[in-house]
Amino acid sequence: MVIGERKPFDEITGMVEGNKKILVLGCGGCVTVCLTGGHDEVRVLSSQLRMARDKDGNPIEIIEKTVERQCDPEYVEQISDIVPDVDGVLSMACGAGVQYVAERYPTVPVYPALNTSFVGGSTKEGYYVEKCQTCGSCKLYFTGGICPIARCSKSLLNGPCGGSTKGKCEIDPEVDCAWQLILDRLKALNRMDLYDEVMPINDWRPNRDGGPRKMVREDFQR
Amino acid sequence: MNAELNTDSRLEKILKSGQFAVTAECGPPRGADANVIREKCKLLKGNADAFNITDNQTSVVRMSSIASAVVMMQEGMEPIMQMVCRDRNRIAIQSDILGGAALGIKNMLCLSGDHQKFGDHPQAKNVFDIDSIQLISTVRRMRDEGKFLGGEEIKGVPKLFVGAAANPFADPFEIRVPRLAKKVKAGVEFIQTQCIFNLKKFGEWMKQVVDRGLHEKVYILGGVTPFKSFGMARYMAKNVPGMDVPDDLLQRMKDTPKEKQAEEGIKIAVETIQQLREMAGIAGVHIMAIEWEEKVHEIASNAGLLPRPQV
Domain ranges of chain A: 2-118, 138-209
Contacts of B236 (CB under 8 A, 6+ apart): B195, B197, B225, B227, B243, B245
Nearest to A164 among B85, B134, B242 (CB): B242
In this complex, how many residue pairs, one in chain A and one in chain B, have their CB atoms less than 8 Å apart?
92
Mean confidence (pLDDT) of chain B = 97
Q: Mean of the pLDDT values across residues A53-59?
A: 97
Q: What's the first-to-final CA gap in chain A, in angstroms?
A: 29
Nearest to A157 among B131, B170, B178 (CB): B131
Q: Mean of the pLDDT values across residues B271-297?
A: 96
The distance of A161 to chain B (nearest Cα, Å) reads 8
The residues that bridge with A114 in the sheet, in sequence order, are A6
Nearest to A165 among B129, B171, B182 (CB): B171
Query: Is residue B211 over pLDDT 80?
Result: yes
Query: How does pLDDT run across B82-135, given as a tens digit for each residue?
Result: 999 999 999 999 999 999 999 999 999 999 999 999 899 999 999 999 999 999
Alpha helices, DSSP H only, in A77-155? Answer: 95-104, 148-151
Contacts of A17 (CB under 8 A, 6+ apart): none
Question: A161 — contact with chain B (CB < 8 Å)?
Answer: yes
Nearest to B182 among A158, A162, A171 (CB): A158
Check CB contact under 8 Å for A154 and B113: yes
Q: Helices (H) and strands (E) in chain A — how many of each? A: 8, 9
CA nearest to B22, candidates B295, B238, B282, B294: B282
Query: Is residue A209 over pLDDT 90?
Result: no
Amino acid A219: pLDDT: 93
Query: How does pLDDT run across A6-47, given as a tens digit for each residue?
Result: 999 999 999 999 999 999 999 999 999 999 999 999 999 999
A133 φ, ψ (degrees, to nearest 5): -110, 15
Render B198-221 in DSSP notation, one character per residue. -HHHHHHHHHHHHHTTGGGTSEEE
Rounded Cα distance between B170 and A164, Å, is: 6
Going by pLDDT thresholds of 50, 70 and 90, the confidence category of residue B293 is: very high
Amino acid A220: pLDDT: 92
Amino acid A198: pLDDT: 94
Amino acid A7: pLDDT: 98
The residues that bridge with B286 in the sheet, in sequence order, are B23, B223
Going by pLDDT thresholds of 50, 70 and 90, the confidence category of residue B207 is: very high
The distance of B170 to chain A (nearest Cα, Å) reads 5
Q: Mean of the pLDDT values across residues B58-70?
A: 97
Query: How does pLDDT run across A70-124, given as a tens digit for each residue?
Result: 999 999 999 999 999 999 999 999 999 999 999 999 999 999 999 999 999 999 9
Determine how β-strand A2-6 pairs with β-strand A21-27.
Answer: unpaired
Q: Helices (H) and strands (E) in chain B — how many of each? A: 11, 8
* Test mutation, B132, B175, B191, B193, chain A, max A CBs within 10 A: B175
Going by pLDDT thresholds of 50, 70 and 90, the confidence category of residue B291 is: confident
Amino acid A222: pLDDT: 79
Amino acid A143: pLDDT: 96
Query: Is residue B240 over pLDDT 90?
Result: no
3-class secondary structure, B23: strand
User: What top-level class would CATH report for the domain A2-118?
Assistant: alpha beta
Cβ-Cβ contacts under 8 Å, A180 against chain B: 171-172
The residues that bridge with A63 in the sheet, in sequence order, are A23
**Strand ranges for A84-179 from DSSP E:** 88-91, 110-112, 114-124, 127-132, 168-169, 172-176
Query: Is residue B24 over pLDDT 80?
Result: yes
Query: Is residue A52 over pLDDT 80?
Result: yes
Query: Is residue A68 over pLDDT 90?
Result: yes
Cα–Cα distance list, A122 to A134, A135, A139, A148 (Å): 17, 21, 22, 19
Cα dihedral A5, A8, A14, A19 sign: positive
Q: Mean of the pLDDT values across residues B268-292?
A: 96
Does domain B10-302 bear CATH number 3.20.20.220?
A: yes
Amino acid B244: pLDDT: 95
pTM greater than 0.90: yes
Question: A132 — contact with chain B (CB < 8 Å)?
Answer: no
A12-16 long-range CB contacts below 8 Å, 24 or more apart? A12/A45, A12/A49, A12/A90, A12/A111, A12/A113, A13/A49, A13/A52, A13/A53, A15/A90, A15/A111, A16/A49, A16/A60, A16/A88, A16/A90, A16/A111
Cβ-Cβ contacts under 8 Å, B119 against chain A: none
Q: Which residue of A has its CA nearest to B195?
A: A162
The distance of B204 to chain A (nearest Cα, Å) reads 17
DSSP state of B259: G
Going by pLDDT thresholds of 50, 70 and 90, the confidence category of residue A188 is: very high
Amino acid B241: pLDDT: 81
CA nearest to A133, candidates A44, A209, A35, A69: A209
Query: Is residue B2 over pLDDT 80?
Result: no
Going by pLDDT thresholds of 50, 70 and 90, the confidence category of residue B193 is: very high
Cβ-Cβ contacts under 8 Å, B131 against chain A: 154, 156-159
Amino acid A50: pLDDT: 98
Q: Mean of the pLDDT values across residues B148-155?
A: 98
Amino acid B25: pLDDT: 96
Cα–Cα distance list, B87 to A141, B90, B96, B113, B224 (Å): 29, 10, 12, 8, 27
Contacts of B268 (CB under 8 A, 6+ apart): B226, B227, B249, B252, B253
CB burial class (10 A; 0-12, 13-18, 19+) of residue B278? exposed
Q: Are B194 and B114 in contact (CB under 8 A)?
A: no
Q: Mean of the pLDDT values across residues A151-163?
A: 95
Amino acid B242: pLDDT: 84
Q: Mean of the pLDDT values across residues B262-287?
A: 97
Which chain B residues touch A if contact means CB-CB below 8 Å? 85-86, 90, 112-115, 117-118, 126, 128-134, 137-138, 149, 165-167, 170-172, 175, 178-179, 181-182, 185-186, 194, 241-242
Amino acid A159: pLDDT: 87
Rounded Cα distance between B239 and B258, Å, is: 21
Residue A213: half-sphere exposure toward Cβ, Cα within 13 Å = 13
